[in-house]
Amino acid sequence: MGITGLFLISFLLVHCFINALIFVNDGGVTFNMGAHFMGTNWIIRSMEIVLFLGLLAHIFQGFRLWAQNRAARPERYAVHDGEANSKWYSRSMGLLGTLLLVFLIVHISKFWVMSRFTGIPTEDVNGNHDLFAVMVETFRDPAIVILYVLAMVSLAYHLLHGFASAFQTLGWNHKKYTPIIKTVGVWFSVLIPLIFAAMPVVMYLGLIK
């Protein structure tokens, strides 16, 4: 869980950086260049296979861990004061993870399937696939925008628990470095989903076009 989690965290960083190129606000030309590089570089393309395997492994391990925890304590606690023992999002990793799963299924079917299989209908001034135009079109739908924003709130809580946990699971505890990792984890968990959530919102509002 820790290794796949850290791998997915590094994917999020790269994905967020490339997508943030939309904020250049040049009609998507810079973003499409970034997407073109990511889509044609063979190292990145090979990593995509590892990414999907990692994602599936992470989801599978999450469900297995949840099932193991339930099996370890078949009868519920008579007195259960979760609030006193852990943060609510630590106890809700299953729920938050499932919300993210729904988002991912919608997300991948909206962008990735089109980009890799069915084809992007238009090209930009540089002759690159106009993935930006697909984003603008997708985020015209307020239901999709709401789903994305809610999913990013879920992602923030998921990361808030997961970031430092990954290091703990791997046994990487250190008197000096663990507090630094925790602080970086909190910043990462808030900033990255916030930047992601801003994308559908600014496009829906027509601030980026």
Would you give the DSSP letter of residue 118? I
Nearer to ligand HEM, 96 or 131 (CB): 131
In whole angstroms, the minimum distance from the beta carbon of 160 to ligand HEM comes to 14
Q: Is 79 helix (H, G, I), strand (E, B) or coil?
A: coil
Q: Which amino acid is at 57?
A: A
Q: Which of 192, 207, 208 is nearest to 28 (CA)?
A: 208
In whole angstroms, the minimum distance from the beta carbon of 162 to ligand HEM comes to 11
In whole angstroms, the minimum distance from the beta carbon of 54 to ligand HEM comes to 10
In the chain, what is the greatest distance between 2 CA atoms, to the nearest angstrom?
A: 66
Question: What are the residue ranges of helices labelled H in 73-141?
Answer: 82-85, 88-91, 93-107, 113, 131-138
Does residue 131 bind ligand HEM (CB under 6 A)? yes
In whole angstroms, the minimum distance from the beta carbon of 168 to ligand HEM comes to 21
Of 76-84, 105-113, 174-182, 183-191, the window that binds ligand HEM (rule: CB under 6 A) is: 105-113
Q: Which amino acid is at 190?
A: V
Q: Out of 148, 157, 167, 204, name the contact with ligand HEM by CB under 6 A.
A: 148
Q: How far apart are CA 191 and CA 161, in angstroms?
A: 15
Report the interface residues with ligand HEM, using CB under 6 A: 15, 19, 35, 38-39, 48, 51, 107-108, 111-112, 115-116, 131, 135, 148, 155, 196, 199-200
